[in-house]
């Protein structure tokens, strides 16, 4: 249980043992449902949210007994996301595994995992409507354009256990991707730090010695005429990591509207590719008994058709 005190100026929530170890931003998301992530980060950054009376970063890991101040003005703005029925049905049909602790989704391309400045709702909002009696939380994230295995925890204890695995880079994550060019060897490892930049309001990751460490392994599965169908294994968990490291090789992913040149996007559209060719096909984590759990999502038909036509 979580104990609360409410005043005219703020609500203060005391962190329970169950939620100890959770990041501050994820903790707040449960109390500010419907508030876009950029707005949530803004209230943290401006000091409206306090932990034990002091400012804190979104990534701070909370401890049992920590007291978190939540600003009521923002709570009044945080309304339940209204996800269209057709999307609810689409997401419900994309669930490939569910038990008392976990839910695994074959996330369709084009759906954000949570609401933000440009979208009012995301996959997690839909799941909270589909499973109103549970408390689903994102264990990790996929880019909006990426499809495939998305892991959801159904309670705080499971979330904390899986977050620990992801912090230690333990889960086995494997992606199918199509590189626009030939991978020079059967196996290539890119070990390049990545740093966030913005151009025209869009976020990019670029190789920079001042960036955060990032390492990706690429294994060639099949060569086509000038293209490479590859399995990518990110050994760290940076934003856009596979997309940015592919670009470092001079082989941006097919259909990548952020990293590829406009003329290449036009080429791939002429070949029938209307999305980014990146699919999270396999994810392995450990259960409560330390046994491996592996989930797989087949390559979507639209991507398979592109390969068949090459």
Q: Which of 123, 134, 138 lies closest to 90 in space, CA to CA?
A: 123
Q: Which of 110, 280, 271, 111 lies closest to 180 in space, CA to CA?
A: 271
Report which DSSP code applies to 307. Answer: H
Decide if 44 contacts 62 (C-beta within 8 A): no
Greatest Cα-to-Cα distance within the chain, rounded to the nearest angstrom = 67
Q: Quote the CA–CA distance of 55 and 101 in Å, as a whole number.
A: 33
Q: Which of 165, 169, 152, 298 lies closest to 241 in space, CA to CA?
A: 169
- What are the Cα distances from residue 86, in Å, to 41, 83, 89, 144, 249? 30, 8, 5, 18, 40
Residue 232 token pair: 């990518």
Cβ partners under 8 Å of residue 300, min gap 6: 109, 147, 279
Cβ partners under 8 Å of residue 199, min gap 6: none
Decide if 60 contacts 24 (C-beta within 8 A): yes
CB atoms within 10 A of CB 269: 12
CB atoms within 10 A of CB 74: 18
Point out the catalytic residue in the list 143, 186, 208, 290.
Answer: 143
- 143 annotated active-site: yes
Residue 1 token pair: 């249980």
- Enzyme catalytic residues: 143
């Amino acid at each position: 249980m979580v104990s609360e005190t409410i005043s005219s100026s703020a609500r203060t929530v005391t962190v329970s043992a169950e939620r100890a170890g959770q990041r501050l931003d994820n903790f707040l998301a449960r109390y500010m449902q419907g508030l876009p992530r950029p707005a949530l980060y803004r209230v943290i950054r401006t000091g409206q949210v306090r932990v034990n009376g002091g400012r804190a970063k979104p990534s701070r890991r909370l401890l049992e007994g920590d007291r978190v101040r939540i600003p009521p003005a923002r709570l009044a703005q945080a309304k339940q996301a209204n996800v269209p029925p057709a999307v609810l049905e689409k997401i419900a049909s994309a669930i490939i595994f569910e038990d008392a602790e976990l839910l695994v989704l074959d996330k369709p391309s084009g759906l954000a995992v949570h609401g933000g400045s440009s979208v009012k709702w995301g996959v997690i909002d839909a799941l909270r409507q589909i499973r109103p009696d549970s408390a689903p939380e994102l264990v990790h994230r996929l880019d909006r354009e990426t499809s495939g295995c998305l892991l959801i925890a159904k309670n705080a204890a499971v979330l904390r256990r899986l977050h620990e695995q992801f912090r230690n880079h333990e889960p086995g994550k494997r992606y199918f991707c199509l590189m626009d060019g030939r991978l020079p060897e059967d196996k290539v490892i890119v070990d390049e730090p990545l740093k966030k930049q913005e151009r025209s309001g869009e976020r990019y990751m670029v190789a920079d010695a001042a960036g955060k460490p990032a390492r990706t392994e690429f294994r060639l599965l099949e060569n086509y005429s000038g293209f490479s169908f590859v399995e990518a294994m990110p050994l760290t968990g940076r934003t856009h990591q596979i997309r940015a490291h592919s670009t470092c090789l001079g082989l941006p992913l097919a259909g990548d509207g952020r990293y590829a040149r406009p003329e290449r996007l036009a080429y791939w559209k002429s070949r029938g590719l209307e999305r980014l060719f990146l699919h999270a096909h396999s994810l392995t984590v450990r259960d409560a008994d330390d046994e491996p759990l592996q989930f797989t999502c087949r390559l979507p038909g639209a991507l398979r058709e592109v390969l068949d036509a090459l």
